[in-house]
Amino acid sequence: MPLTTVDLAIIGAGPTGLFAAYYAGFRGLRTAVIDTLPEAGGQITAMYPEKQIYDVGGFPEIKGRDLVDNLLRQAAPFEPVYHLGHQAQKLHHVDGLPVLDLTGDLRVEAKALLITGGLGSFAPRPLPAADGYHGAGIVYFVPELAAHAGQDVVIVGGGDSAFDWALALHGVARSTVIVHRRERFRAHAATIDRVRGLGVPIIVNAQVTAIHGTTHVEGVAIDVKDEGPRELPAGAVVAALGFTADLGPLGEWGLDLDHRTISVDSTMAASLPRVYAAGDIAAYPGKVKLIATGFGEAATAVNNAAVAIDPAAHLFPGHSSENP
């Protein structure tokens, strides 16, 4: 197997993992960052790159895409190795040190492992009528708003993502309409009010029955309760039906788990030697799942891993402002 040898292997290229790559570099550790997704950024890149985030310290508001770009720039001087589009399948220890076998016949040997995989690997819930149109007008998230400029866009779903995409696409797409199978929505009430205030049509009690088009989406057939069938023009359909999360092979590595999360102690150490966890996938009493929380957990995990790797190292290396 092609081999990568590093001090710290990081599973998960979301915000917590990217910040860990920076902080490990600050501590003089060489890192490899592994993620099943083909791009860095985790759920932010996959689900809400254009959405504003308001609870990251120092930023009154910042787009998801911009936060990921900043984190990549922050880590870049330390040259982390990225294995994107590869899943960590097996974990075993050689002389007490973690070794990871990845898809694509890749292997990563490390002196410590930090798991920052969020909710684990996740897959979009399918829209049954969309079979045959994946990659031809059916999308599950919107990485580039400009890709839908001038299009008629049908958004299917009633959660936060559906209404967030409606807000983001309004004024970019030629038309935007939300189709939801129920009368009630799971989205935040204030967001729903904003979408309604923009005049975006919302069709409730409706099911998508068919997608029309030869090689690309050209229209959507829906069936509306008490009204019957309708046709909607569409150049794209955003299937915002949510995602299913799965720990995948992680769940078989012998880690102590708590409802699909990894139990850790106050040093962010998991139950296996030289293995740590941080971010949404880490569990302990009183845990609050925020990006800001993940950043702090990443620093805690990296500092404790640094001491495990080199017992002569100091747990706290000092402030970054003292070591430009």
The annotation places the binding site at 16, 35, 43, 48, 88, 122, 280, 321
Known binding-site residues for FAD equal: 16, 35, 43, 48, 88, 122, 280, 321
Q: Which two tokens stand for residue 31?
A: 């890192």
- The amino acid that residue 11 corresponds to is I
Return the H-helix or E-strand segment holding 155: strand 152-156
Structure tokens at 39: 């791009």
Q: Which two tokens stand for residue 196?
A: 């309604």
Cα four-point dihedral sign 24, 248, 39, 63: negative
| Beta pairing, strands 275-277 & 112-115 | parallel
The Cα–Cα gap between 46 and 117 comes to: 14
User: Vertex 231, ends 229 and 234: CA angle to 5°?
Assistant: 145
Measure the CA–CA gap between 137 and 155, rounded to whole angstroms.
Answer: 12
